[in-house]
Amino acid sequence: MPIQLYPVCWRNRDDCEPIHCIDAMPEDTTEDDMNSFNYTPESFVCSGCVKSEDRAIKQDLYRLCFKNEVSDEISDNDMQDLTSVMAVASAALNLDAIRKVNQGIVEIPAEQAKQE
């Protein structure tokens, strides 16, 4: 069974197959533009698989990209690198959650807050 991957690389590169992306569309993006990916995102974070012939290090299969108005980062990673990035990000979010709970802060998702 084929897996549907992200259909576009916002860097217009052909050395990596996009897997997933979260992007910030410009405010004037229409629904047609959105559906056809006919816009340039203001920022994005994405992942992809680097083609074997384009890898600087053989095992660095996974590419992570992050771009906004002040940062423009690309890193190629093996599975250990990628899981380490996830672990470090998870630990940072965990610490933030612990601090908020200890300060009596309970965040309510916007949709739920409207219903109360």
Whether the per-residue pLDDT at 17 is higher than 80: the answer is: yes
pTM across the whole model: 0.81
Q: What is the pLDDT of residue 113?
A: 61
With DSSP H G I counted as helix, E B as strand and the rest as coil, what are the percentages for the chain, rounded to 5?
A: 35, 25, 40
**Residue 43 falls inside a structural domain:** yes
**Residue 8 falls inside a structural domain:** no
**Residue 37 falls inside a structural domain:** yes
Check: CB of residue 96 under 8 Å from CB of residue 42.
no
**Residue 46 falls inside a structural domain:** yes
Calculated CA dihedral for residues 42, 45, 49, 51, nearest 10 degrees: 40
Report how far residue 45's alpha carbon sits from residue 75's, in angstroms, rounded to the nearest whole number.
12
How many domains are there within the chain?
A: 1
**Residue 32 falls inside a structural domain:** yes
Whether the per-residue pLDDT at 9 is higher than 90: the answer is: yes
Quick: pLDDT tens for 49-66: 999 999 999 999 999 999
The band of 114, judged by pLDDT with boundaries at 50, 70 and 90, is: low
Separation in Å, CA 84 to CA 70, 77, 81, 97: 24, 10, 5, 20
**Residue 61 falls inside a structural domain:** yes
Closest CA to 64 of 80, 85, 35: 85
